[in-house]
Amino acid sequence: MALLDVNNLGISFGGLRAVDNFEVHIQKGELYGLIGPNGAGKTTVFNMLTGVYKPTDGIIKLDDKNITGMKTTQINQEGIARTFQNIRLFTKLSVLDNVKAGLHNDYAYSTIAGIFRLPKYYRTEKAMDEKAMELLSVFDLDKEAKLSAGNLPYGKQRKLEIARALATNPKLLLLDEPAAGMNPNETKELMDTIQLIRKKFDMTILLIEHDMKLVSGICERLTVLNFGQVLAQGKTADVLNDPEVIKAYLGE
Amino acid sequence: MKKIKLNRDYLITYGMVILFYIIMTILKGTGNLTSLFSGLLVPICVYSILAVSLNLTVGILGELSLGHAGFMCVGAFSSAFFSMCMKDVITNSFVRFLIALLISAFVAAFFGIIIGIPVLRLRGDYLAIVTLAFGEIIKNIVNILYVGRDSDGMHISIKDSISLGLKDDGKVIINGAQGITGTPHDSNFTIGIILLLITLFVVLNFMHSRSGRAVMAIRDNRIAAESIGINISKYKLMAFSISAALAGIAGCLYAHNLSTLNALPKNFGYNMSIMILVYVVLGGIGNIRGSIIAATILTVLPELLRGFSDYRMLIYSVVLIALMLFNASPGAIEFKEKYSIKRLLSKKTKTKEVQ
């Protein structure tokens, strides 16, 4: 049984059919790619999967549970975490606090315990610190833990966003153009990091990407989206050699 | 690169308040404080509490509230009303004041929640507009409210005191525009400082806890906060109602320092709300210590300028503009970083280590 089952997903904005009849089935532990030209509707799909937009029709199932139409917060608690195309960090908080914000639901204590500094506060905060530092060290960010997130260099901000998403302990991780704006070296490093988190956390990953080298390097299967419709789907090598796909990218 | 402030940093804030208290008490004891200035001590505490509590909404939550004086007004009248009713029942002024404080905090928080539930769900400047209206509405309602008590119980009217129809043993408690007269004088400078310290304790500890982190995450990026499973409405409402409750406490302190309490544009109106916002902006948005310093300076300043009579407000505004320019100038920022208390303290410890 697939971890993520999406069938017949579609959304209309007024008269515009942004995504139509989209379907994808991702197995547990898979690294899946979603590609397509600009404006194909890739991020719209992400926004529907995470509850930012309510799909007009279709069903999204995570681990056989229907999560269609749930709120973003609930969907995260069900087990989908994401990063954003344009980085969205808590810029004025420290790097450590960004990750600790991600631990918000798993490590809970009441506001009263927080204000009056009850023993539970110290106990939970300590556990949070340890867990957060452990995550940061995976991304080689542990030395920057005390810096404010807005002061990090671009590549590290991307990594921090992934670390924050992982802190929510998801079943499925959605990465929206993780390599956007990176140079070839940084992209290479990012590829390694994605492979690493996949192994270390046994994570299922769905990523949107423009960088063909990255996609062909790490994704096992792909879905190609064009004008809101699925153009091709299947093994990476087969899809990239599909004449329809080449036509969509390069023109005739 | 800028490092995030350490928790140790707020010990300086507590220390500053306690130091201020000690100096003022000594000056008062030795008779070096003019009666004008010693009359300002409680207002300084009131406005500092208001500034800190508004900073929770503006600086930590990142929403603009223009009706903070409204929450103060609600707290002031509810607690003064309670104290008037219980003047003869609870004779211990400390216990009475303590209950009055709790009532003012609860009533103000209640109004905060009522306003917050619909408005905090919206984005943009709606909160500013609604709180602005709330402040004015509360002030005007209080001005037409007549409440009296006799052996039959409470009587309420919105016309005048005669239509209350009180018996001979009755007494008018809230007398419309004349407000409440004869509130017991239960607060003093010491209580004010204690309340300010409690406010600081609540706000600073809230900031550095799980809930505070969630609130600041929402301020920095609402969409990202939602995506990591933080309940936006809940935490916005929590921060806003705590802020309102603290403003209510300030109102209670204010009411029990005066024998006559009435809602004028000057003390509970729009101007007051803006004044509190000025304390916050001048002290630095999100900077709790700055709020206290700004509130203190701007409370004392008009009194110091009394000698200039007609030109008082002119000079006041010039000083205000000069302070804002000074605060934002690169030279002043560099100076502050070079000679900050924290830096000087850490330098001292370093030299000690060398020795």
Give me the percent of chain B exceeding a pLDDT of 90.
47
Q: How far apart are CA B106 and CA B231, in angstroms?
A: 23
> Which residues face B154 on adjacent strands?
B149
Q: How far apart are CA A247 and CA A37, in angstroms?
A: 11
pLDDT band at B32 (very low <50, low <70, confident <90, very high): confident
Q: In this complex, which of A104, A125, A148 lies closest to B228 when CB atoms are compared?
A: A104
Q: Is B181's pLDDT higher than 90?
A: no
Looking at residue B265, its pLDDT comes to 81
Residue that terminates a domain, selected from A169, A200, A227: A169
User: Do A67 and A129 belong together in one domain?
Assistant: no
State pLDDT tens for residues B68-108: 999 999 999 999 999 988 888 888 888 999 999 999 999 99
pLDDT band at B342 (very low <50, low <70, confident <90, very high): low
- Separation in Å, CA B111 to CA B104, B138, B211, B248: 11, 10, 21, 10
DSSP conformational letter for A101: H
B287 burial type by CB count under 10 A (0-12 exposed, 13-18 middle, 19+ buried):
middle
- Within 8 A by CB and 6+ apart from A176, the residues are A42, A43, A46, A82, A83, A84, A85, A207, A208
User: Do A54 and A120 belong together in one domain?
Assistant: no
- Count of CB atoms within 10 A of residue A94's CB? 20
Q: Is B3's pLDDT higher than 60?
A: no
Q: Is B167's pLDDT higher than 60?
A: yes
User: Do A59 and A177 belong together in one domain?
Assistant: yes
The CA distance from B3 to the nearest CA of chain A, in Å, is: 5
The CA distance from B35 to the nearest CA of chain A, in Å, is: 38
The CATH number of whichever domain residue A194 belongs to comes to: 3.40.50.300
Q: Encoding tokens for residue A133?
A: 């530092």
Looking at residue B224, its pLDDT comes to 94
Q: Is B160's pLDDT higher than 90?
A: no
Looking at residue B353, its pLDDT comes to 45
- Taking a C-beta distance cutoff of 8 angstroms, is the pair A101, A125 a contact? no
Determine whether the interchain pair B210/A124 forms a contact, defined as Cβ–Cβ distance below 8 Å. yes
Looking at residue B343, its pLDDT comes to 65
Residue A157 contacts B, CB cutoff 8 Å:
no
* Mean confidence (pLDDT) of chain B: 86
- Taking a C-beta distance cutoff of 8 angstroms, is the pair B80, B328 a contact? no
More confident: B20 or A186: B20
Closest CA to B86 of B149, B144, B146: B149
User: Do A104 and A75 belong together in one domain?
Assistant: no
Looking at residue A69, its pLDDT comes to 87
> Which residues face B146 on adjacent strands?
B157, B175
Q: In this complex, which of B3, B202, B217 lies closest to A147 when CB atoms are compared?
A: B3
- Count of CB atoms within 10 A of residue A241's CB? 10
User: Do A105 and A146 belong together in one domain?
Assistant: yes
Residues of B with CB under 8 A from a CB of A: 1-4, 201-202, 205-206, 209-214, 216-217, 219-221, 223-232, 238, 286
Q: In this complex, which of A114, A128, A168 lies closest to B228 when CB atoms are compared?
A: A168
Determine whether the interchain pair A165/B210 forms a contact, defined as Cβ–Cβ distance below 8 Å. no
User: Do A181 and A113 belong together in one domain?
Assistant: no
Name the closest residue on chain B to residue A88, using Cα atoms. Answer: B224
A-B C-beta contacts closer than 8 Å: 110
Determine whether the interchain pair A102/B226 forms a contact, defined as Cβ–Cβ distance below 8 Å. no
- Taking a C-beta distance cutoff of 8 angstroms, is the pair A135, A163 a contact? yes
Closest CA to A178 of A196, A161, A197: A161
Residue A93 contacts B, CB cutoff 8 Å:
yes
User: Do A244 and A215 belong together in one domain?
Assistant: yes
User: Do A141 and A178 belong together in one domain?
Assistant: no
Name the closest residue on chain A to residue B239, using Cα atoms. Answer: A111
Question: If you compute the radius of gyration of chain B from its CA atoms, what whole number of angstroms results?
Answer: 22
In a domain, A153, yes or no: yes
Determine whether the interchain pair B228/A76 forms a contact, defined as Cβ–Cβ distance below 8 Å. yes
For chain A, what is the domain count?
2
Looking at residue B355, its pLDDT comes to 39
User: Do A65 and A183 belong together in one domain?
Assistant: yes
State pLDDT tens for residues B217-255: 999 999 999 999 999 999 999 999 999 999 999 999 999
User: Do A75 and A22 belong together in one domain?
Assistant: yes
Looking at residue B345, its pLDDT comes to 64
Residue A72 contacts B, CB cutoff 8 Å:
yes
Q: How far apart are CA B72 and CA B131, in angstroms?
A: 12
State pLDDT tens for residues A187-223: 888 888 899 889 988 999 999 988 777 888 889 999 9
- Separation in Å, CA A25 to CA A2, A75, A216, A229, B56: 6, 18, 19, 16, 46
In a domain, A84, yes or no: no
Q: Encoding tokens for residue A63?
A: 């681990």
Taking CB atoms and an 8 Å cutoff, what residues of chain B touch A151? 1-2
Q: In this complex, which of B1, B209, B223 lies closest to A121 when CB atoms are compared?
A: B209
**Residue in this structure with the two tokens 């209309």, named with its chain if needed:** A12
Looking at residue B214, its pLDDT comes to 95
pLDDT band at B354 (very low <50, low <70, confident <90, very high): very low
Residue that terminates a domain, selected from A169, A198, A229: A169
Q: In this complex, which of A115, A125, A165 lies closest to B202 when CB atoms are compared?
A: A115
Q: Is B349's pLDDT higher than 60?
A: no
Q: Is B6's pLDDT higher than 50?
A: no
The one-letter code for the residue type at A83 is T
Q: Encoding tokens for residue A103?
A: 């631990």
Name the closest residue on chain B to residue A121, using Cα atoms. Answer: B209
Q: Is B4's pLDDT higher than 50?
A: no
Q: Is B175's pLDDT higher than 50?
A: yes
Residue A123 contacts B, CB cutoff 8 Å:
no
- Separation in Å, CA B346 to CA A91, B15, B290, B334: 27, 16, 21, 17
DSSP conformational letter for A94: B
Name the closest residue on chain B to residue A82, using Cα atoms. Answer: B227
In a domain, A226, yes or no: yes
State mean pLDDT over B295-319: 83
Name the closest residue on chain A to residue B235, using Cα atoms. Answer: A111
**Residue in this structure with the two tokens 């939550």, named with its chain if needed:** B61
Q: How far apart are CA B224 and CA A85, in angstroms?
A: 12
Residue that terminates a domain, selected from A169, A202, A223: A169
Closest CA to B61 of B213, B281, B289, B275: B213
Determine whether the interchain pair B221/A148 forms a contact, defined as Cβ–Cβ distance below 8 Å. no
**Residue in this structure with the two tokens 């329809």, named with its chain if needed:** A244
User: Do A108 and A39 belong together in one domain?
Assistant: no
Number of residues that this document lists for chain A: 252
Torsion over CA: B133, B138, B139, B140 (sign): positive
- Within 8 A by CB and 6+ apart from A154, the residues are A87, A181, A182
- Within 8 A by CB and 6+ apart from A88, the residues are A161, B221, B223, B224, B227
pLDDT digit of tens for each residue in chain A (252 aa)? 689 999 999 999 988 889 999 999 999 999 999 998 888 889 999 999 999 999 999 999 999 899 998 999 999 999 999 999 899 999 999 999 999 999 999 999 999 999 999 999 999 999 999 999 999 999 989 899 999 999 999 889 999 999 999 999 999 999 999 888 888 888 888 888 899 889 988 999 999 988 777 888 889 999 999 888 898 898 988 888 888 888 887 776
Taking CB atoms and an 8 Å cutoff, what residues of chain B touch A125? 210
- Taking a C-beta distance cutoff of 8 angstroms, is the pair B147, B172 a contact? yes
Residue A53 contacts B, CB cutoff 8 Å:
no
Q: In this complex, which of A101, A117, A147 lies closest to B205 when CB atoms are compared?
A: A117
Domain that holds residue A199: 1-79+170-252
In a domain, A7, yes or no: yes
Q: How far apart are CA A24 and CA A9, in angstroms?
A: 9
Closest CA to A178 of A192, A167, A169: A192
State pLDDT tens for residues A213-222: 788 888 999 9
State pLDDT tens for residues B208-217: 999 999 999 9
In a domain, A232, yes or no: yes
- Domain residue spans of chain B: 9-30+40-72+90-143+184-257+265-349
Three-state DSSP class for residue A33: strand
